[in-house]
Structure 1
Amino acid sequence: MSDTTAWDTYARRKPGGRREKNAKGETTWFNWTQYPDHGPGIEVLGAKAGASALELGCGTAGNLAHVATLGHRAVGVDVSPVQLKAARERWGDLPGLELHQRGALDFMSETADRFDAVYSVFGAIWFTDPDQMLPAIRQALKPGGVLAFSQRPPVEGCYGCQASYINQADDPNPLVVKRWDHAPDAWTAMLGQHGFQTPIAVEIAPPEGWKTGTLLVRALAPTP
């Protein structure tokens, strides 16, 4: 079963996309966590005026739309045509927004562009072997550019390649995709090994009444 099938199935199981407005009444916003109106925002990317940002696994492009509305070049890639169709229907007219149906590694290997920031929110970085993903991101970043990504923290003792299950409505057998779970110190060590500078990995506590936090990782591409 292809990843496209799995992620198309995921998209159909979670229809609707982002709310029309957040708690502040904003029509676009950036959210790193799985909870609405919670956690840090786009400031994590440190993007200056006119910056370029690449989102790996952009889904329906809610975060990417916010990047574009701030005047940045916002490039998103996703393998799922269902996700991208929803993204284009809602955000396709935004200046500076570009959407590509490609795998993250394929896109980065093919483009000559270099970005001020590369990021992923519960996206492709979580679902790709870091030993393949991190060198590709380093190549795609400008010197000193920001890498940032978020995902669920690992279950204690369950590290490395794990299985994620995507249920199909009419099939008792779920689709399976691989994800890579690591503790914060393991992520910072790997980032250092791949040449990234000042790596930081922290767990954002969940809102009151919830148990699962969000792992947020950030590092800089090396400078000459």
Structure 2
Amino acid sequence: MTKSDRQISERTKSEAKTTAILSGAMKEFLQNGYAGTSMDKVAKSARVSKATVYSHFGDKENLFNAVMQDLVKDKFQQVMSLEKPQSLEQDPQVVLSGMMTKMLANIQNNRSFQDFMRIIIGESGRFPELAKAYVNNVAKPTIEILTKYLKSHPALELADPEATVRVMMGTMVYFVMLQEMLHGKDIVPLEGDRVIKTLTDLITEG
């Protein structure tokens, strides 16, 4: 085996261990919460040594951040695509409606994401760094990219694009929390497409 082949093999093994650790950590965090999860438990769940977990992620806080990033990276790909130039050439009503529809579907159909959000909210009093990690890794980049899009699109003339983004995100987050996480869909049912259409109309026609 050549040196290059050995390097590729080692990198592949390392990536496989990283995947196993993230999967094991997700299982433990969802089952035991942040405080109840230890690096020992993660190592056992991932079937690797505790030293391997520490060598890959350093400590529990970094591991939690990595799990969160891994969980949301595909969920917000549609938002990130707003940075592409062609999005500015398309009808903003179509772009925004499509983006919100995909995001809502992803979140509603992903119980792990909802349970993970419960951990962040429930543990944020004792572990404020968890909430800050969510804001830094998810909320902040989404706000920045959407604000840039609303500012840049030639068909939109908004007085305060950033505040508009906050209103849009706040509405979407509250809708998911009330309908899904608090089981409000059985008490105050409302179709997601109605919320999306209302938001899109307010932004593009208001």
Query: Counting helix residues as a fraction of each chain, which structure ranks higher?
Result: 2
- TM bracket, shorter-chain basis: under 0.3
Greater CA radius of gyration, 1 or 2? 2
TM-score (norm 2): 0.25
Query: Counting strand residues as a fraction of each chain, which structure ranks higher?
Result: 1
TM-score (norm 1): 0.23
